[in-house]
Amino acid sequence: MSKPILYVKTGCPWCDEVIDYLNENHIPYQNIVVSGNRAAMQQMVDLSGQSKAPTLDWHGQVLADFGVDELILFLIKVRQR
């Protein structure tokens, strides 16, 4: 199975916190920086319907514009499926 995809923007404090959480908890993911990358930004918008970061695609389950607290709840839900 491929890694979940995390879309982030440069200088985004919420993105940095999410990256730190995923790394500290040894959760593998693919990081895509959408800042200055129109194709990646469009991919994120198409996926989530909005342009805010971070956005996470966890094997088809999408979480957009979130912080670590929302991420923890999301991970609990997707891992129970």
Question: Structure pTM?
Answer: 0.94
Pick from 66, 81, 77: nearest CA to 15: 66
Angstrom distance (rounded) from CA 53 to CA 73: 17
Domain 5-80: what homologous superfamily? Glutaredoxin (3.40.30.10)
Predicted local confidence at residue 2, as pLDDT: 86
2 DSSP 8-state letter: P
- Delimit the domains of the chain by residue range: 5-80
* pLDDT tens track for 11-69: 999 999 999 999 999 999 999 999 999 999 999 999 999 999 999 999 999 999 999 99
Angstrom distance (rounded) from CA 50 to CA 9: 13
